[in-house]
Structure 1
Amino acid sequence: MAPPMALMMLMMMVVVVPVAAGLRVAAVQHTVVADDAGAPQWTNLPAYFDSLQAAGEQGVEVVVFPEFGLFGPDFDKSCSKPSAPMPWCLPLLEAPIGALPCTNSSWNSIVRNMSCHVREANLTAMFDVCETANNGTAYNTALVFGPDGAIVTAYRKMHPWFENCFAAADNNEITLRFPTHPEPIGIFVCKDILYKTPGPELVAKGIKTFLYTVALSVVGAEAVSLWSKEYNATVVSSNLGLGQSGVFRDGQRLTPAPSSKPGSDVLVIYDL
C-alpha cells in the first residue's frame, strides 16, 4: 500500500490513502459547532460544504457524513416524543427517488442547499438528518444525493438510540450501486450495528461493503473494526466521535485515525 499523504485545504485536513483504481470514498470527521439560536444545520453546514468541495477536487465518488453532525450538542434534551419532532427537523416529502431539490423551491432551503452543493461537487453524498415524515413523526434518516443533486434514497434508522426523539423505522434495507464498484453497497446507522437488521441480513444476501454514519466516541472505531471482522466486510464509517472515522475491512483499520476541532474537519479518503 502506498503511504498516506496529507495536505491542508479550506481549513480542513485531507488524508488520502491511494491503493488502486476503484471506488474512491471519503469519511468525514466533523466536530459539531454549537448554535444558541436553535439553527444547528446552518451553523454546521458550511464545514460540510467545504468537505464536499474538497472531496470533489480529490476525485471522490462517495462521501459519508457523521450521525448527528447537523443536530447540535445535547439536542436530545429538547425531545419529548417522536410525534413531536424538533423544530429544525426536515420535511423530506417522503424523499421521492429522483427528486431534484436544488431546482425546486418547494423543498426546505437546507435540503435544497445540500442538493446544490452535492451537484457542484459531482459526487454521491450521505447526510444524517432528522426527518419529519408526512404524518408528523420524526426519524433519524440517512439521506443520499447523487452526482446530479437528485435524491437517490433515504434510509430510516431502524434502531434509534434516542427513542424520545425518533421513531423506530420498519425494515427498509437499502443498497446502492456504482459503476466503479462491482457489488452493491449497503447502508446502516449507528445502533443498527447491534442488530440483525439491516447489516447482517444484507451480508447474508451477498453485500460486503457498507456506508455507516455513527456517533460513538472512544470505542467507535473498535466497534466498527470488530463488526467488519465478524462479517468479512468493508465499512466506510463517518463517526462524530473524535478520531473514530475511517475505512475498515476484515477487522483492520485501513486509514489513519483522524482528529478534528471546530473549524477544521478531516476528510479521510480511500480507494476501495
Structure 2
Amino acid sequence: MTDDPIPGADGPELTAANVLDVDDDRYAADSVALVTGAASGIGRATAVALAANGCTVAATDVDADGLAGTVDRAAEIGADGTVQPVEGDLTDDADIERIVDAAAQLGELRFLANVAGLQHVAPIEEFPAEQYDLMQAVMLRAPTLLSKHAFPHMREAGGGAVGNMASVHGHYTTSDKVAYNVCKFGIRGLTQSLAAEGDGDVRAFSVSTGYVSTPLVTGQIPDTAEQRGLTEQAVVEDVMLGQSRTKRMMSPVEVANLFVFGFSEHAKHLNGGDLLFDGGMTGTYE
C-alpha cells in the first residue's frame, strides 16, 4: 500500500459525538461487556462505544500495546465507563476461560462482543492449512467457547446478549477467501444456535457489514490486487465497493454503534437475527 488516502475510507471518526448514546438502565458501571479484538479497528471502537455508554468493558486481545491505546482512547473521549485490558490468546482454551473469569470479576457479565478476526487471501489450491486452522480457532471456535463460559454469568445477571461480528461474506462469498467465508457463515449458525438455547434471557445477534476501513481490510488490498491483476485503487473501487450502492466504506464507530444498539433494551426482539448493513451489496444488482 502507498501512503495515499484509500478511496471510500473517509467515514466518521471515533469521537464522543459519533458514538450512539442509548438510554438503557443496564448501561452502567456494574454491567460488564467483554469485547474481543479490542486492540484496534472494530473491536477498539466497540469497546470505547460501550464504555462511552457507561459500561465496564473487559477489552481482550493478544496485543497489549493496542489495548493500552484503547484504554487511552476511551479516556480521551471522556467515556463514562471504563475499559479494563485483559490480555489473552483466543487460540488457547484455558486462556479463553481465564478471560471470561476476569471479565466476570469486574461486575455482572451481561454482554459479549465477538469481534476478533483474521484474513488471508489465496485461491483454495494454495490456501495454507495452518492459516485455515488459525482462522477457524480465532473466529469460530473461540466465540463458541467464550459464549459457553459467559452464558452462566449472563443467566446469573438476569439476562444478557452475545453479539457476533459476521460479514456480507456470511451471506454470499467471494473468491480466494475460503477460510473467511466458512467462518462467517459459521458465526451466523452459532448466533442462531445461541438464540435457540438462550431461553429468551440470553439473546444473540450478528452484525454483517460490507467493507470497513480497518487494518484487516486495508491489509488485504495488496494481496487482492496481486491475485486479480488489478491496481490497489481498482480493488477498492471495483471489488470492495463495486457492488455497494453506498460508495464509502463503513467506519469502525459505525459498526460499533450496531453493537451498542443490539445489546440494548431497544433490541429485545433481535434474537438470532442479523443486522445487515452492507450498503446494498447483497440485495441489489445492476
TM over 0.5: no
TM-score tier by shorter-chain length is: 0.3 to 0.5
Structure with bigger strand share is 1
The normalised TM-score by structure 2 is 0.31
Structure with bigger helix share is 2
The normalised TM-score by structure 1 is 0.32
